[in-house]
Structure 1
Amino acid sequence: MTNYNLFSIPDSEFIRGNVPMTKEEVRALTIGKLRIRPKDIILDIGAGTGSISIEAALFAKEGIIYSIERKQEGIKLIEKNIKLFNIKNIKLIKGIAPNDLGNVPMVDKVFIGGSGGKIKEIFDWVDDNLKSHGRLVINVITIENLYKALEQIKRRKYKNIEVVQIAVSKGENIGNLTMMKGQNPVYIISADKEC
């Protein structure tokens, strides 16, 4: 494994299982949209394999990443990836957001990669716990969840709301030819919390 200090760690470097993982190209754009500073306190909701948390931790070297995941397989994968990348600034929470976020302090950034159907409740928590001028980034793959997330953002005190759709295709060898194989499109929503 290579020692990474910049984002876009290859997917192949992570230990993976049956838990969804934010793919490399989507992860790079997501990390960019978070605009991470060295001392940021960041919350990763629905952490999956921990790929976003790992890359965020490399940027917020003096900060803390709170990584919450509800699936046991995901917890084990995150623990293995934390060890693999020798990350010291991730606090792993086994549980469901927002119910199990009681020990998380005010945060500078929130990333929502999965909501478990509790998008309104998560936004209620974010309203109380994301600092003024804090940054929120949400990745969704369905139009319904895109609508629900935008509805919540527009009801609340956010500005600079942006929606990006990213559709990545990767080359796959077929004999001595290359065919582009499409991955699921992902919607990336980002916004800044007003004072």
Structure 2
Amino acid sequence: MKWKFKTPGIPDELFIRGKVPMTKEEVRAVTISKLRLKQDDIMVDIGAGTGSISIEAAHICTNGEVIAIERNEEGIMLIKQNSEKFEVPIKILHGNGVEKLNEIEQFDRVMIGGSGGELKKIIQICHKKLTEEGICVINCITVETLYESIQYLKETGFDHIDVVSMNIARGKAVGRYTMMEGLNPIYVISGKKSA
């Protein structure tokens, strides 16, 4: 199934899902916009989950490469299934974020959706391996990770740090009425590698 649109935000229900967390479509749309992807970019998705961000990125980076890093077995299976379903190539690396990042020579963009408790080290490696003016985007749900993300990005040498707090509610039919149902709030943090 090809995603025939040029805009991000593939409906959640189109993805094959399991028990692995998945970034919701509205959050994906903002995350992709903050990544500022180009056709020939190499983009790394750390803690890729079901691969939803990777799938969205692969629709843009058609002359580049999208690399998904995931340590969960079920996640690896779901990324494969979703990449086949949406007919986009994704290089899948199974394992720990720090370890797998060290196997990649260089990249233009990176999305951190999960760090396995190694956020600082991951950000440091990303800064070293990102191309000049490369962009790092971090999605998190806790205020502690928000604080740490900002601190580590600054300490490592990222600038143009941007923080977005997203509180999304979706309409849900209740009889003949529509009730707004809130999703969990999420923070989208981005920074650019200094020239």
TM-score by length of 1: 0.96
Deviation at 1:127, TM superposition (A): 2.1
Structure 2: gaps spanning 5 or more residues? none
Mapped to 2, the partners of 1:4 and 1:142 lie a distance apart of 34
How many residues were matched structurally?
194
Moved more, 162-171 or 122-131: 122-131
TM-score by length of 2: 0.96
1:67 aligns to 2:72 (yes or no)? no
Match of 1:128 in 2: 128
Deviation at 1:2, TM superposition (A): 5.3
Asked whether the 8 Å contact 2:2–2:87 carries over to 1, the reply is no
Deviations, residues 26-50 of structure 1 (Å, cap 9, x unaligned): 0000000000000000110000000
Mapped to 2, the partners of 1:8 and 1:135 lie a distance apart of 20
- Three-state SS of the structure 2 residue aligned to 1:100 is helix
Mapped to 2, the partners of 1:4 and 1:165 lie a distance apart of 29
- Whichever residue aligns with residue 110 of structure 1, its letter is V
RMSD over aligned CA atoms reads: 1.1
Question: Within 5 A, what are the aligned runs for 1:23-172?
Answer: 23-88=24-89, 90-172=90-172
Deviation at 1:154, TM superposition (A): 1.4
Q: Which runs of 4+ in 1 moved over 4 A?
A: none
- Whichever residue aligns with residue 19 of structure 2, its letter is N
Identity over aligned residues, as a percent? Answer: 46
Asked whether the 8 Å contact 2:102–2:125 carries over to 1, the reply is no
Quickly say closer, same or farther: Cα 1:2–1:106, change in 2 above 3 A: closer
Asked whether the 8 Å contact 1:107–1:130 carries over to 2, the reply is yes
Deviations, residues 145-193 of structure 1 (Å, cap 9, x unaligned): 1111111011121111110001110011111111100000110001110
- Three-state SS of the structure 1 residue aligned to 2:101 is coil
